[in-house]
Amino acid sequence: MTAVPLTEIAAPAPKPASASSKAKDALSNPWASLAAFVIAVFWTIPTAGLLISSFRPESEVKTTGWWHVFTSPSFTLDNYRAVLGGDGDAALGPFVINSIAITLPAVIIPIFLATMASYAFAWMSFRGRNLLFIAIFALQIVPIQVTLVPLLNLYGDLGLQGQDAPAGGFYSLWLSHTMFALPLAIFLLHNFMREIPGELIESARIDGATHPQIFLRLILPLMMPAIAAFGILQFLWVWNDLLVSLVFGGYQIYPINAQLAALAGTRGSSWHLLSAGAFVSLIIPLVVFLALQRFFVRGLLAGSVKG
């Protein structure tokens, strides 16, 4: 029996590159990195100009562009003193408190309801479950503008809207943001919850655990990244909201964005105050995002890779 030379043995055919590896190679090449850097620079220039303008004196803001700071630098903190501690329309302190009072319940309530609803859709059997889930998923395509007038009439009939509304009208804002957020929250949390191995649920049931025990002791700890990711998205959405606040809120409960819009309308020439107020409104959401960034990334990547 003659030995077959090693050179004559056919080498195994290389595996074709997957779509994900091709996309990774395309996005990690030097030209893609250069394009991303250029886009980031052009995206940041307007924000940098607004930040510089917020520290410039009023006279220079109204007469020269922000780029003149490189040739004749002049800075002041008067703009921030006016929006943080001043009196009148420029003072934003009470409106920051209103934004916090609106945003926190509008984040906690949808998460509280969506986690329980997601568990029911994922791990409990009841008649019409799939049809109801499809209906909730379809609610995501309903424009918010379509619901404003019917909700306004409903809140008026229930006494949740107007001067005599309880909690100063906050209830209508909390309920509106909750209703607008629930379809997406249930859909996202349900998809994440379905990635949990069913063996864990069955083992807990065999050990005698009830649905509340499984939900509180097993599901919630595993879902914290997804809950945190949705919480950040909802926080940023509600904090930056203007339409819902203008429709369902009044001046006494205006958030900071609504007051900034009113300030721009009545004092359009006071760009030095508007630029400072815009960055005051950025502080809290920026801190929240940076503090929960690791949970946000884990929540977005959860369930994307199996193995």
Enumerate the domain spans of the chain. Answer: 30-76, 90-301
* pLDDT at 18 (0 to 100): 58
What is the separation, in whole angstroms, between the first and last Cα of the chain?
A: 45
* pLDDT at 12 (0 to 100): 57
Query: Are residues 302 and 192 in contact, defined by beta-carbon separation less than 8 angstroms?
Result: yes
Q: Which pTM value belongs to this model?
A: 0.77
Angle 23-25-29 (CA atoms, 0-180°, nearest 5)? Answer: 120
* pLDDT at 277 (0 to 100): 84
* pLDDT at 218 (0 to 100): 84
Cα-Cα-Cα-Cα dihedral of 259, 261, 265, 271, to 10°? 90
CA-to-CA distance for 299 and 252, rounded, in angstroms?
36
Query: How many CB atoms lie under 10 A from the CB of residue 89?
Result: 13
Query: Are residues 72 and 55 in contact, defined by beta-carbon separation less than 8 angstroms?
Result: no
* pLDDT at 266 (0 to 100): 56
The architecture (CATH level 2) of 90-301 comes to: Orthogonal Bundle (1.10)
The two structure tokens encoding residue 28: 């990690």
Query: Are residues 275 and 53 in contact, defined by beta-carbon separation less than 8 angstroms?
Result: yes
Q: At what angle do helices 271-291 and 93-123 cross, to 10 degrees?
A: 40
pLDDT (tens, 9 = 90+) of the chain, 307 residues, equals: 555 555 555 555 555 655 556 555 665 677 878 888 899 888 888 888 888 888 888 888 878 888 888 888 888 888 888 888 766 666 788 888 889 999 999 999 999 999 999 988 888 888 888 899 889 888 888 888 888 888 888 888 887 765 555 455 788 899 999 999 999 999 888 888 888 888 888 888 888 888 888 888 888 888 888 888 888 889 999 998 888 888 888 778 888 888 887 776 655 566 777 888 888 888 888 888 888 777 666 655 554 444 4
Query: Are residues 140 and 184 in contact, defined by beta-carbon separation less than 8 angstroms?
Result: yes
Give residue 99's identity as a one-letter amino acid code: S
Burial of 219 per CB tally in 10 Å (0-12, 13-18, 19+): buried
